[in-house]
Structure formats: structure tokens, C-alpha cells
Structure 1
Amino acid sequence: MNIALLCKWSWRNVNEREALWRQVISQKCGEDDGRWHSHEVSERFGVGLWKSIRKEWDILSSRLAFQVGNGQRVRFWRDKWCGDEPLYVSFPSLFTLSLTKEAWVADVWNPEGEGGGWTPLFSRAFNNWELDLVERFLQTIQAIKVQRDVDDRVIWTTARCGTFSFNSLYSILEPGDSLLFPCGSIWRSSTPPKVAFFACKASWGKVLTLNQL
């Protein structure tokens, strides 16, 4: 199975929240707390294709970041939304002291006052030697503000535009991986050359779909 194509469907699942097919998958498999993707598929029958798609989720998710809007679907500590890694990775000692390790970004934001502000909660007062670390932490999060009327969104970090594409994924996958391109099922001796060429272009996302026409 073409890994890039499976990842493309995961990307669509993240972004096309109102699509009927996505709602069916959500009802069948359930969703994670942020409603970005479905739970892992364990059933043996009836969901074979989606099971394959869900299996490759980690390839996609490892290269995703979040652009915070209202902060209701992004984890404050555990998701990547400010900087190149989650806050629990950048500030592990502060994460240990946090009283809200599973909080959403919106939970740590106080909209009152001029422009609002961040209100992370910790289990104790900080020692003098910890203040530089706390200052760096606050500088990191203060660059971003919660916007109540804007939805959180996902960014594909491998492309400058932030949108998933086949080319951007192929550029980071192992070139020797036989799963990257379905050669065996396309270039068969019994397949007419024109059909094989069309299938080849389709697998690389080069053929216009109805949505692109």
C-alpha cells in the first residue's frame, strides 16, 4: 500500500471535519480527545482500509504542529504549538511541577484583563535558581495569544505552506522503502502502457481529481 496515499487520507481526516465519510469513521472507531484522528482500529472485519490508514498515523503526526486559535483542541504541555517540540520536552522540570499536565491551551489562558494572559499552575513556589528557566518558559508561551473566535488548525511542518503534499512526504521517507510506490501492482506485463502510466501519475498525485477540476 502506498504510504503517501495513506497519509494523505489521514491529513484529510484531520481537516475535513464535516465530511460524511469522516463522521462515519468517527462513529465507528471513536476519536482522540482533540478529535484530530480516530482511535486505533482493532476489529478484524469491515474496517480493513481504515485500519491501514490509521496504522500510518505516526508518520504524519510526527511532522505536524498546531496553530493555536481558541486553544480548545490543543494540549498545553503535550502538543507541539510553540517552538519545535512540545513544552513537556523543552521544560521537563516545569512539567513535573505542573498541576495541569493534561490541560488544553484554553484552560491555561485567562481572557480577562488587557489582551489576556497565561496562568499555568505549579505545585510549589520556585527557587531562585529556577527563575531563569521560568523566565524562558514564559517568554516562549507569551509569543502566542488565544483567539476565541478562531479554530485551532494543524500545520504540516515539512512544507513551507503548511499543507500536506505527496512531494513533501516523499522527500523525507526512505528512498529504498518498497512501500513508497506500488510498482508491482502497476507495471505488470498484462497492464496496457497507457493505463500503467495513468496509474503511475495518480499514485504520485499528478492526476486532477474532480475536486481540482
Structure 2
Amino acid sequence: MSIHGEGQGTDLPCFLNASGTWASICKSINMLHTEYSLDTTFLLLKIGNGTNAKFWYDPWINDSSLASCYPRLLALDTNNSSSVASRYNNNGWLFFWRRDPRYGIEVENLQALNHLFSSISITSESDYWTWEGGTFSVSKVRKLIDNHDLARFSIATKWCKQVPIKINIFVWRLKLSRLATKVNLSARGIVLEEAGCCLCDESFEDENHLFLHCATSQQIWSKISQWSNISLPSWSSLANLWAWIDGVPIPQNRRLITSIIIYATLWNIWRLRNSVIFDDKSFRKCHVIDSIVTTSFNWIFARVRKKNCNWNQWLQSPLLSL
């Protein structure tokens, strides 16, 4: 406290011109509190001698400051920047009124305040700040900020360590319907010449059609099922696909291989779609199949610790590779 300054309301204690790690933490959290209305009740001020606690602005009795609980009494006080220690002596608590509280609400607030004071003990120890739940950690701050600011989604985000980060992000966006399909772009107000599927031109291009119902995609899934010897059902929606991956009754190592092959298939369908739109290229489905087989093998070989598989084994029976 002597280095970084006294308490300043619900803000963490820190001089405005301070530098260093603690100062950065203080200023960041204080900004979230003042500019983004982030709740700061996770910061608790334990009162000791009251020297470093602001009487009106620090949360030294309850989770909230006296200023926020009793604004009428604050308006009557002539020394609202004083410390708790300066407001207490052996005879009790001191106030510095412009005039005595005289209206109903003012008198009621003063009575309630005196009732709170009856449970307070001033000691010789120093005041100190604590973190709710014990030890401070960066992860706790991150979770606090995420819970305050990030949107809530019903679909859990599951990262697969065996695929590249960009693939995890791609699948995450796909689960949230955030890919730049033609239907999504139109919903955002972007004017397109046409919104049909570029692979089959039989329906509007949304995620379910592009990855599951398009005739080209269905042929790709069929070829992948034949190669991998995985019985892939005809999913009605991507939500059914995610549920199938989580619930299919197979050993864990086979579930991992199946997930990686499905991720590679989704990724290559998306790449195929983009190459047709942006590169104006004709395509052959056999090239897409080859890319899926190669891509999934590279992911497995590069990221799985037990590398018992080789290329020939992967080509013949990928489920037996781990």
C-alpha cells in the first residue's frame, strides 16, 4: 500500500502515475469497472486501523461503499475524502455535517449506518485488500472478464489438440454459424449476385447444405466412409454431426481418429468451395479425397505422441493406426 497508494473507492489501490505489474493490473481492472460497469465485489477490503481505507468510497463494511448505499448522507458530509481512522475515536463515530439529517430518509439512513457500525471493530493492524476466494491469479481475472463480456452460447467449445489452431477456430466458427457462407453474408446485409451453392447450384448456401446436403459433399462423405471403414450416417444437420461425434460408442483412440478425419473433410469442403468462388477453378472430387487423406495423416503424425502409424497403414486402415 505504501508503494502503490491508498485505496480509491471501489478501484484497486494505485497511484495514477505508478508503473509496474501491479499498477498495470490495477489500472486495467479499474478501467473495466469505470468504463464497462464490471462488478468489483470480488475485491474485499479487510479493515484494521482504518488508516488506508476511505470512509465513504471503499467497500470496508459490505461489498459496496457507503457512498453508493447512502448518497443522501454523503451529500451532507463536508469531508467525504476522509479515512475510516479519522472518523473513529473512543467515543464512537464522527460525522462532519453541513446540517443535521432532518428528513425521514436521511434519519433512516443514519440509523441504518449506526447499526452497521455496531458490528465493526477497529484494531491496531493495517488495512489490506483480499481477493474473493483466496489467492489472486490471472486466470481468475480472465474468467471474471470473460463471464462479464463474452456472449453465451449453448454449444460448448471443445479444442482438439491433434489439429492445427486454425482448424479449431474454423470448427468453432462453424458450430456457431459464423462462417462466411452466402446465406450468412446476406443476413449481415451484404448484397450478393446470387446465394446458391457453388458446388451444386441446387439450393441456398448455408452451412447444413454446403457441408452435408450438397450432392458434391455427399459424394465426398461417401468416399471417405469407404476409405476409412467408418460407418458415417447421413446427418440431417451439423448439430447432429457434433452430437454423433460425442456419443458414438467406439474406443477413445478411434473416436480421436474419426474426429480428425471429419475435421479434415469439413475443412477441405470449405477449401473446395473457396477455390471455386475465388479462383474460378474446376475441380475433381478425387483431388479433394486425396487432400483429406493426406491432411488427416499429417495432423496425426505431427501431433500424436505415439506415432505407431505409417503412410501405408493409414491408406489401408486408418482406424487401426493408433
TM-score normalised by L of structure 1: 0.54
**Aligned to 1:32, what secondary structure does the other structure show?**
coil
Tell me if the contact between 2:14 and 2:23 (Cα under 8 Å) persists in the aligned partners. Answer: no
Assess if the C-alpha contact under 8 Å between 1:65 and 1:81 holds in 2: yes
Structure with the bigger RCO (C-alpha within 8 Å, sep 6+) is 1
Tell me the SS of whatever aligns to 1:66: strand
- Paired residues in the alignment total 142
Among 131, 140, 145, which residue is 1:173 paired with? 145
Runs of 5+ consecutive residues of structure 1 not aligned to the other structure: 1-13, 18-25, 42-46, 178-186, 194-213
1:135 to 86, 101, 111: 111
Alpha-carbon distance between aligned partners in 1 of 2:49 and 2:22, rounded to the nearest angstrom = 30
Q: Taking structure 1 as reference, are residues 173 and 91 closer, same or farther at Cα in structure 2, changes over 3 Å only?
A: same
Partner of 1:32: 5
TM-score of the pair, normalised by structure 2: 0.37
For the pair 1:120 / 2:120, whether they are aligned, the reply is no
C-alpha distance in 2 between matches for 1:101 and 1:122: 10
The separation in 1 between residues aligned to 2:131 and 2:23, in whole angstroms, is: 22
Would the aligned equivalents of 2:57 and 2:65 in 1 still touch at CA under 8 Å? yes
User: What one-letter code is carried by the residue in structure 2 that aligns with 1:32?
Assistant: G
Alignment of 1:14-163 (within 5 A): 26=3, 31-34=4-7, 36-40=13-17, 52-53=24-25, 55-58=27-30, 59=32, 62=40, 63-110=42-89, 112-113=90-91, 117-127=92-102, 129=104, 130-147=106-123, 149-157=124-132, 159=133, 161=134, 163=135
Instruction: Work out the CA distance in 1 between the residues paired with 2:143 and 2:52.
Output: 29
SS at match of 1:65: strand
Deviations 1:150-197 (Å, cap 9, x if unpaired)?
11011223x2x3x323443333221687xxxxxxxxx99xxx98xxxx
CA 1:96–1:48 in 2, change beyond 3 Å: closer, same or farther? Answer: closer
Greater Cα radius of gyration, structure 1 or 2 = 2
Provide, for residues 34-53 of structure 1, a one-character-per-residue CA deviation record: whole Å limited to 9, x for no partner.
49323245xxxxx6877754
Secondary structure of the residue that 2:49 maps to in structure 1? coil
**2:215: which partner in 1?**
none
CA distance in structure 1 between the aligned counterparts of 2:131 and 2:51, rounded to whole angstroms: 19
Partners of 1:98 and 1:121 within 8 A in 2: yes
1:38-97 Cα distance to aligned partner (Å, 9 max, x none)? 3245xxxxx687775454242599332211101000000011111121101100000000
Number of the residue aligned with 2:278: none
State the AA in 2 paired with 1:81: W
SS of alignment partner, residue 174 of structure 1: helix
State the identity %: 23
Asked whether the 8 Å contact 2:7–2:58 carries over to 1, the reply is no
- Whole-angstrom CA distance in 2 between matches of 1:50 and 1:143: 32
3-state SS of paired residue (1:171)? helix
Give me the CA root mean square deviation: 3.5
Bigger fraction of residues in helix: 2
Q: How far does residue 146 in structure 1 lie from its aligned partner after superposition?
A: 1.2
Question: Cα distance, 1:98 vs. partner?
Answer: 0.7
Q: Please give the alpha-carbon distance, in whole angstroms, between the structure 2 residues aligned to 1:132 and 1:104.
A: 23
Q: CA deviation at 1:143?
A: 1.6
Output the CA distance in 2 between the equivalents of 1:64 and 1:134: 26
Unmatched runs of 5 consecutive residues or more in structure 2: 34-38, 151-163, 166-301, 304-322
